[in-house]
Structure 1
Amino acid sequence: MAITLAHSRFSEFNLDPALAEMAEAAPGQQIIEAIVRLEDPDQIPPRFTVVSRFKRICTGRFAAADTWTIRRHPNVVSLKAARPLGIHDEGGNPADLIPAQVTPTSRRSSAPFTGRGCIVAALDFGLDFAHPNFLNPDGTTRLVGFWHQGAPYDPARPNRFGYGRIFSQQEINAALRDSDPYQALGYHPAISDTGGDGSHGTHTMDIAAGNGRAHGAEPGAAPDADLIFVHLSTPRLSAAGDLGDSVRLLEALDAVNSMARGRPWVVNLSVGRTAGSHDGTSLVEQGMHELLRLGLDRAICQSCGNYRTADLAVEGWLRDGEYRDLEWIIDPADTTANEIDAWYSGRDRFVVGIRPPQGSAFTEVKLGEVSDIVHEGALIGRIYHRKDDPKNRDNHIEAFLYPGAPPGIWTVRLSGEYVISGRFHAWIERDMARPGAQSRFDRRITSQSYTLGTIATSPLVITVGAYDANAEGRPLAPFSSCGPTRDERHSKPELLAPGVGEVAARSIPRDAVQQEGLLVARSGTSMASPHVAGAVCAMFEAAGRPVSI
């Protein structure tokens, strides 16, 4: 993209930087998935095809060439690109596998309410639908809905979203009667078993609502609930992989609400990212907010993230005329793209600069401008400095480094040109394309506060952190992210739940065809959130009437 074109369009439309990058790189007819916020919910801009609606928040599709036209529409308040979402999980390893015949330490005591008549849904990666803990005593499935977003679309089995495959309860039961149910259904959870310790979604669903039928297993908090599972995916990947995105997450929530058919439901979300506004104003959070406001007997539980000590967050203050340097470390083994995101008060005016390793000069960008990052004659990134974000009226800095940018210590300089507040926060986006290749801030400047995941700050979503139930005093797990939110709400996370060494169902190994009730221990806030989701489901049953949580 020519910088003059980028500058003129960016200044005129104040476009979301990620969407600007996507639209300019794509061929004109390539379809883009995005989220839009409308002023009038009944006035849809031309050329924007709505997929899911949550009052003023809509997901949809449009051609890349129409991006600027849609953003220009007077009814469009904000237009955001789909952003990747990955699991919140410290993981496990083969040494943590628990043989089915060995009884682990009990996780829960029996309770009078078990979620009967209600639904636990998980939006996650990899469900072993044949695990005994997800079956009724007669061997039939407890699933009332199962959508694999990454499966090839079959026009003979259409769905209103236009992608993926929704398996019916009848199809799942027919597969369960086969000697190889995974081949019969055309779905194997091993597509998400990248570490050899089982799929993430199998484990989290069991913590929330497993019935304990596997020998040695303990029931979840809602063992009699019916189940819905959505295997998240994104056009960035093939059918395999543990990566979803913000657009398809909202569409998954829409699907859960439809599949529930008016019954009480709770969704567990153990996914997230780190870059973003962290104040509840992201469009995906606003979409969740609108969905929860549409009725009673519905709830969303979200893991808070595992970023407390990940060196991905910085916060501070600037005075008028001062500057602050943020050291951004990129490992030589990191060949992926990297991203940094910073926010500050709309009453202030900063100048942002970026300097490469061993460089002597900064590329400076004033408020309302965009600039290429060039190193040794090559375009290696771009930096955007947005004025007056339409969601929260704050100013926003976003820098992208492309694959091939030199490793080492980059310096991001924030300078206070006109300062009234001076408060700023910055986050590095987690690297979900290549685990182990995470860029980070210099530890000497990082904060363990303000480390919540990007979609864990919605006011109506229950945000859950992790504690170690196996240690004396049940301390906060060392990885569990901490608040407050960027807008200084200290209520997040609202709850803590066990999240260290949690034993639950393990999906079948890749080359096996018969599930024998395997278990595995895993750690992470991913394991904490489903404890709360199951408990909320049981509360819906206990209430015996429509309630809000």
Structure 2
Amino acid sequence: MTPEESFKITSNEYMDLIIDYGGNESILEIYQEYSPHIMNDRFAVIYLPSTLITERTLVQFGYAAFPSSFGLASERSLEASGVTRIRRFPAFDLRGAGVLIGVVDTGIDYTNPIFRNEDGTTRIVSIWDQTIESLDEYPEGTFYGTEYSRDQINEALNSENPLVIVPSMDEIGHGTMMAGIAAGNEVPDRDFSGVVPESELVVVKLKQAKPIIREFFGIPLDVPCYQENDIIWGVQYLISVARLLDRPMAICIGLGSSQGSHNGRGYLSALLSVAANFPGIAISIAAGNEGNKRRHFFSTVDPAIGSVTMELNVSEDEEGFSMELWGAGPNTYSIDILSPTGEYVPRIVESLVVNREISFLFETTRINVDYRMVEAQSGDQLILLRFEAPTTGVWTFQVYSRGDLQGAFHCWLPADEFIEPTTYFLQSNPYTTVTAPGNSPLPITVTAYNSETGTIYLGASRGYTRTDDIKPELAAPGVNIISPTLQQGFDIVTGTGAATAHCAGITAMILEWGILREFYPNITTAEVKSFLIRGAFRNERIQYPNRDWGYGAIDIFNVFNQLRTEI
């Protein structure tokens, strides 16, 4: 890609598609007319003109090429996780000094006093705002957005109109919440403190997903939604800043998507697992809030019977949505469809690739059905259904399994606000609902619990992954958490995003101890995770690990209590 072609990154006249070129740039030569934009030594993005988008595009490029769409993972925690007890010991009073907190989210209210030093200067190292176009002030190689430095932010804070100098602002508040819970200053009269109030912040404000992406998957235009490739760019930016400054960084991801195979094989998940191996990087990811939304269906299929029934209630307010069925090998899977008014679509027989558009005689509904016998990233079968103007009521699907072994399949509806709350499976299953990239193998996946009652948050997504890897690994306080608002006050929030911000602060404490105090100079995410699992609080009446709690609730005091006799 050249700077002259960079308008395609933000233009809705072009569809972003991710290509796994594996470092072999000759592969990208066949896409030269689509402006290949190299992200790293494995992935690139191409920009397909909207005039070329047809129902065959999915067949041509494969499901994995379409960026997954991500929503937000949130809606007296320090004592519960041992932070307050640690602060009572001078040798372990770890407040994040010298450690960076990286947040890829909705931006930050940089004018909020909780993100300033005592002298009024900012604790923010830099902000990359992907939504503000500039000629050449973007991070190297990205070709979009604007990067604002610490000096520019301080200049803005010293002016009467800060937003004239640094016009980046968090209009939603989720990023400000995440940054505040992890690293906000202490405000004793409001009973508030971030976990590591002496750390510094690096922030990415994500641009909203393109309307053309939303339209393809039936995602409403008025809900927060972010593209996978923009998040990948954001994570790479955080790591580049940490490397430039030679500082450890705790990265916090409070975003989630129910798209994909739920086994950690997506492009973003792959990047995060690679980054989690870097010394000085600790990555925490929200498990999601899909546990009680009834958006997951699971069933085995007895080979003697050959099929099972799956029923889906569609809300009267539903305008469109997508649904993904992932079948376990070696069996193959196919479906038939019965609409709420009784129109029947006979079994759509499986084949290597199926692409079919279904219209109904007495209804306005259209369904695009795509079969991928061997989906590229997972190797499993995918059936993708995209509904347009779906009829209200109960849709019935007969799911057939062909093979001599017992079949099994999962089906997921979109997460967050991407679908109406009263669109759900009648026989839903609350497990295997951890959202991407929370299924990524190496990062720490965090669920939420109520520190007042000691109970798991009912809305939290539950494990394990589709291939039974243990996710989430840990629980952190995430119910009724005090959080900063865009009005520079405080409010109460709940969700696994809040829990993940809390966990990110905890990991920053371990990075400070390990790297800056030189007790464990090359510590990685995997080793931080091991320390946290070892020190986690476990109820003697509960067997661990389990699908709700993982290995237990974070207790940073106990982590160091076990270590201090060795130090």
TM-score range normalised by the length of the shorter chain: 0.7 to 0.9
Structure 1 or 2: larger helix share? 2
Q: 1:299 to 1:438 in 2, by over 3 A?
A: farther
Equivalent in 367, 376, 380 of residue 381 of structure 1 = 367
- Correspondences of 1:332-347 after superposition (within 5 Å): 332-335=316-319, 337-347=320-330
SS at match of 1:369: strand
SS at match of 1:400: strand
- The Cα shift of 1:391 comes to 1.5
Q: 1:225 to 1:38 in 2, by over 3 A?
A: same
Unaligned regions of 5+ residues in structure 1, if any? 1-27, 92-102, 193-198, 509-514
2:324–2:413 contact (8 Å) kept in structure 1: yes
Equivalent in 18, 33, 38 of residue 35 of structure 1 = 18
Q: Which residue pairs with 2:541 in the alignment? A: none
- The Cα shift of 1:83 comes to 2.1
2:22–2:43 contact (8 Å) kept in structure 1: no
Q: Which residue pairs with 1:140 in the alignment? A: 121
CA deviations 1:154-188 (Å, max 9, x no partner) are: 21534431222222212211111123323542233
Q: 1:363 to 1:184 in 2, by over 3 A?
A: farther
- Correspondences of 1:89-168 after superposition (within 5 Å): 89=74, 91=75, 108-109=83-84, 110=87, 112-151=93-132, 153-155=133-135, 157-159=137-139, 160-168=141-149
Number of residue pairs matched by the alignment: 483
Q: 1:43 to 1:459 in 2, by over 3 A?
A: farther
- Correspondences of 1:136-535 after superposition (within 5 Å): 136-151=117-132, 153-155=133-135, 157-159=137-139, 160-189=141-170, 191-192=171-172, 199-213=173-187, 215-236=189-210, 242-260=224-242, 261=244, 262-293=246-277, 295-320=278-303, 321-335=305-319, 337-367=320-350, 368-376=353-361, 380-402=366-388, 404-430=389-415, 432-433=417-418, 436-437=420-421, 439-442=423-426, 445-471=427-453, 474-489=454-469, 491-508=470-487, 515=488, 518-535=489-506
Aligned counterparts of 2:164 and 2:188: Cα–Cα separation in 1: 22
- The Cα shift of 1:64 comes to 5.5
- The Cα shift of 1:240 comes to 9.1
2:290–2:415 contact (8 Å) kept in structure 1: no
2:97–2:199 contact (8 Å) kept in structure 1: yes
1:344–1:425 contact (8 Å) kept in structure 2: yes
% identity of equivalent residues: 21
Q: 1:144 to 1:237 in 2, by over 3 A?
A: farther
Tell me if 1:548 matches 2:501. no
Aligned counterparts of 2:239 and 2:68: Cα–Cα separation in 1: 22
- The one-letter code matched in structure 1 to 2:341 is Q
Unaligned regions of 5+ residues in structure 2, if any? 1-10, 213-220, 516-520, 526-567
1:318–1:419 contact (8 Å) kept in structure 2: no
Aligned counterparts of 1:350 and 1:175: Cα–Cα separation in 2: 58
Q: 1:255 to 1:50 in 2, by over 3 A?
A: farther
SS at match of 1:173: helix
- TM-score under structure 2 normalisation? 0.79
2:23–2:41 contact (8 Å) kept in structure 1: no
SS at match of 1:362: strand
Q: Name which of structure 1's ranges 528-537 and 406-415 shifts more when overlaid on structure 2.
A: 406-415
SS at match of 2:499: helix
Aligned counterparts of 1:393 and 1:154: Cα–Cα separation in 2: 41
CA deviations 1:52-81 (Å, max 9, x no partner) are: 5343233444446788999999xx998511
- The one-letter code matched in structure 2 to 1:312 is R
Q: 1:478 to 1:346 in 2, by over 3 A?
A: same
2:256–2:415 contact (8 Å) kept in structure 1: no
Aligned counterparts of 1:205 and 1:214: Cα–Cα separation in 2: 18
Q: 1:480 to 1:431 in 2, by over 3 A?
A: closer
CA deviations 1:283-317 (Å, max 9, x no partner) are: 22112223334x21112211101111110111111
Aligned counterparts of 2:522 and 2:94: Cα–Cα separation in 1: 16
Aligned counterparts of 1:548 and 1:158: Cα–Cα separation in 2: 29
Aligned counterparts of 1:486 and 1:31: Cα–Cα separation in 2: 33
Aligned counterparts of 1:272 and 1:29: Cα–Cα separation in 2: 23
Q: 1:452 to 1:141 in 2, by over 3 A?
A: same
1:106–1:218 contact (8 Å) kept in structure 2: no
Q: Which residue pairs with 1:85 in the alignment? A: 70
- TM-score under structure 1 normalisation? 0.81
Q: 1:60 to 1:299 in 2, by over 3 A?
A: farther
1:133–1:214 contact (8 Å) kept in structure 2: no
Q: Name which of structure 1's ranges 422-431 and 302-311 shifts more when overlaid on structure 2.
A: 422-431
- The Cα shift of 1:374 comes to 0.5
